[in-house]
Structure 1
């Protein structure tokens, strides 16, 4: 079926609106694109405007990253002739977990997807750009944008490189990139992908009913690192109105910074790893590495924290990344825009329903703390049997996150005036046994329970509407407060200040202490003895 017949078939389905942009050929700076109705029937979630939502899939925002473009900044896109049929996902980038038969895996993967509720290209609706966590793709149903678009927001997600494809640094690459940028830098190709997607959105989103001057960037885990890179970088100055960093930021003296999303390494270390990595592939030059089959490089896609010997991550290059995270905070180098950031209860060390003995708990604490610090932490997180050991173990990890995020906000406020809103998410999705695990808030934030196969209960739909309403309000105004989709006022969420509180989201709503004052003070004293990251 050709694209015109396919579109006509869609529009003849009962209940579909013809006033939306489904029936409009959208003109971008690179060529025309044809979108399609996001829904052909009413989804299970309580979406009010589902008939109006148009989606465009697989729109390229840069040239292929394969061949001679491998290990380079994203290259300019050549305009296309005719109208691009945007009904199917584009290829996804090679990652450690992208072996699914549902997608085409290819290095020509820099493409994006858009969901818009606009009925006119002149709508100027607020825009959000989503960056996915490690090992994911923009085509994952977990990141479907229909629920966000239902709130009057143009939602965009995109693919970006990972592993060696996205982060390989090498002396040859540094010399090559210096000739292009004037910067002694290499390795941040994924970061530059993220920036290129944002710049494409800024240049083109008005044609999809979005406001290019009102873009909020949002992501979770590795996607939160992408969001933080955009928030901090001078290369994205003036392009964003806000940032949502889920799982999340922490105090730059917390040693966890070296193993979670904020991880980065120096240019010297990054180049040395690049030399060693090429040797492991039995090549010694970048020219040879660019000739290798894509499959030979998959070994370098494993994310931070995996068992891989390779640690491909951001490079502190003083170009895309302007400085260390600590210096970026205290010097006020980040964009002065509102921020939401927070954590899930059962992540970053905290493990729901963990089976652990007292001796195992003590051994773990001894690995982290020593001497006086060990005694002081055990005094505040005591354990005398497996039950109390499990509780103490989880509490010290969860509170380390909430305290660290609060301390990050305190540093932010020293050089920035825009507010930070912090949260702790604690709702466990049904049909799982991991508690409020890493990524568990994503469905609720997006209000897209319809696209994930879990035994959702009525309470989940209520929570999803409230979470999505907070996020949508923030995307629209820079403030999460307001009303939900029923017009009921949400529980007040105050911007983070010196009060040692965090917003409780999920199984409760409203302020809660980040930890007891003694614990907050202890974490602060311990962090103060450690190097800045």
Structure 2
């Protein structure tokens, strides 16, 4: 009996011992170089999407500083080290946005913060990572960039704020002298590179794999991804890039003013000097003394148009054509594409036959007659459709040509798509309409989505998550729907005149007719004899 009693007593002791089990990371305090942080659950019982089986595992950290304030003497300097803090930072709220034309009232120069969504239950999860850059005028707290959809597919998702407008791209000789390396401009790009370094150094603590980072973004954010691919300052930090609506052939005249463009140094210097003169500033010190609201009244700040990345042969090391011909600093797989109804296509505008013909002639010059012969029109409906078809042929040809140029110096695959689905409330597959589908966050939006939308989002976000995991949109196990398997999306083959339709047919389709493509390629070289 005594032996039996001892066994019972021993069992009781064992039952009282703590049992170590994995749990969502929001329950833990995480150490960063600047201090401790703690996040929170991304969902609760009342707001969790019914189709997201692992919602209880998803943690989110918002507003973690990755660099110091960019105000005062830090204006127009590379991002400086973030200050340390005492205690534990409760990372429950997004940081203030960087000033932009759409930032509203909640902005500050102390804005360089990062947000993380992770499904990891252990800091040793070693999950792949997607760093996503918002479009021009955007901010990381927009629901468009909610990262729990990617996290639900076992990807650690990172969004962040970066400088824009004059605070990001001011280019002045005095700043070049001050730098010590004769470099000026691209402070916003330096933010984008700095957050990539921060993620590389810290993401393991949040369950991410620092050796499996993909950068992505849409429009201007697509340009950020491409600049990181090309920049020697980010060499070795990334394993892939996703560029939604942003990368074009270097000869394409429509590259100027698009998401991935840049300015030459003389243009940027002149534009920046006009800005300084408009504020009666004769030195950088004068500009740094101005309060933020006054600074944002300078010439060029009403729309932020004109303040853009600059070819400074440092953070942007070469013209695009040179980087394509000689090879980028980061030779990585790329997923790139366009939307069917963007980049000059205005679905609310109609053209009569005369307007259509005169517009094509004024735009395409000696190549207009060939395009008009391929797209004849005898009434307003035909003229409008013909105009949009010509614009679309140029869009598709441009990105297809970029992909072919890339493939000549890289053995890494490039996946090329055309988004063709018109979401509820949209007239077409407009600029930016694919983002919430690609990131799988329809649950965070207000549109009246149907089951069709959710299925499209499941496929789209599975391609994106697979690419982050394996650099191949077809492999990675992200699509677990009962509606079949993901349609096979082949990598770009230069000899093929095709792209991959996302949202409608889910298959390869022609980018344009062979005749249209050849005309567009000739037109590009005519319009831009000295390419970007």
Aligned-residue Cα RMSD (Å) equals: 1.7
Instruction: Report the Cα offset of residue 193 of structure 1.
Output: 0.4
Match of 2:354 among 347, 353, 359: 359
> Quick check: 1:275–1:284 contact (8 Å CA) kept in 2?
no
Matches of 1:276 and 1:385, distance apart in 2: 47
Match of 2:387 among 390, 393, 396: 393
> Quick check: 1:350–1:395 contact (8 Å CA) kept in 2?
no
Matches of 1:297 and 1:398, distance apart in 2: 39
| Partner-residue secondary structure (3-state), 1:316 | coil
| Partner-residue secondary structure (3-state), 2:109 | coil
Instruction: Report the Cα offset of residue 385 of structure 1.
Output: 1.3
Residue of structure 1 in register with 2:317 after alignment:
322
Match of 1:492 among 488, 491, 503: 488
Residue of structure 2 in register with 1:40 after alignment:
44
| Partner-residue secondary structure (3-state), 1:265 | coil
Segments of 5+ residues of structure 1 without an aligned counterpart are: 1-16
> Quick check: 1:233–1:320 contact (8 Å CA) kept in 2?
yes
> Quick check: 1:218–1:244 contact (8 Å CA) kept in 2?
yes
> Quick check: 2:99–2:163 contact (8 Å CA) kept in 1?
yes
* Cα 1:310/1:118, change in 2 over 3 Å: closer
Matches of 2:304 and 2:93, distance apart in 1: 36
Instruction: Report the Cα offset of residue 192 of structure 1.
Output: 0.2
Residue of structure 2 in register with 1:378 after alignment:
372
Residue of structure 2 in register with 1:7 after alignment:
none
> Quick check: 1:300–1:310 contact (8 Å CA) kept in 2?
no
Matches of 2:396 and 2:125, distance apart in 1: 39
Match of 1:368 among 363, 366, 382: 363
Matches of 1:308 and 1:129, distance apart in 2: 26
Instruction: Report the Cα offset of residue 500 of structure 1.
Output: 0.7
Residue of structure 2 in register with 1:59 after alignment:
64
Matches of 1:83 and 1:393, distance apart in 2: 58
Matches of 2:343 and 2:193, distance apart in 1: 27
Q: Per-residue displacement from partner, 1:163-200 (whole Å, max 9, x unpaired)?
A: 001100111111111x1xx2x32110000000011000
Q: Per-residue displacement from partner, 1:79-109 (whole Å, max 9, x unpaired)?
A: 2221111011111100001115xxx310000
| Partner-residue secondary structure (3-state), 1:264 | coil
Structure (1 or 2) with the larger CA radius of gyration = 2
Match of 1:123 among 119, 122, 125: 125
> Quick check: 1:217–1:240 contact (8 Å CA) kept in 2?
yes
> Quick check: 1:66–1:107 contact (8 Å CA) kept in 2?
yes
Matches of 2:297 and 2:146, distance apart in 1: 29
TM-score (norm 2): 0.92
> Quick check: 2:364–2:523 contact (8 Å CA) kept in 1?
no
* Cα 1:308/1:27, change in 2 over 3 Å: closer
* Cα 1:524/1:310, change in 2 over 3 Å: closer
Q: Does 1:511 find its partner at 2:513?
A: no
Match of 2:334 among 329, 333, 339: 339
Match of 1:160 among 159, 162, 171: 162
Match of 2:238 among 223, 237, 240: 240
| Partner-residue secondary structure (3-state), 1:350 | coil
Segments of 5+ residues of structure 2 without an aligned counterpart are: 1-20
| Partner-residue secondary structure (3-state), 1:369 | helix
* Cα 1:55/1:309, change in 2 over 3 Å: closer
Residue of structure 2 in register with 1:144 after alignment:
146
Matches of 2:125 and 2:309, distance apart in 1: 37
Matches of 1:187 and 1:275, distance apart in 2: 13
Q: Per-residue displacement from partner, 1:314-339 (whole Å, max 9, x unpaired)?
A: 11011000100111101112411110
Residue of structure 1 in register with 2:86 after alignment:
81
Q: Per-residue displacement from partner, 1:298-349 (whole Å, max 9, x unpaired)?
A: 346979xxx8585000110110001001111011124111100000111001
Aligned pairs for 1:438-453 (under 5 A) are: 438-453=431-446
| Partner-residue secondary structure (3-state), 1:134 | coil
| Partner-residue secondary structure (3-state), 1:121 | coil
| Partner-residue secondary structure (3-state), 1:56 | strand
Matches of 1:214 and 1:301, distance apart in 2: 42
> Quick check: 2:224–2:260 contact (8 Å CA) kept in 1?
no
Instruction: Report the Cα offset of residue 527 of structure 1.
Output: 2.2
Aligned residues, how many?
Answer: 505
Matches of 1:341 and 1:45, distance apart in 2: 31
Matches of 2:329 and 2:356, distance apart in 1: 39
Residue of structure 2 in register with 1:296 after alignment:
294
Residue of structure 2 in register with 1:169 after alignment:
171
Residue of structure 2 in register with 1:5 after alignment:
none
> Quick check: 1:300–1:312 contact (8 Å CA) kept in 2?
no
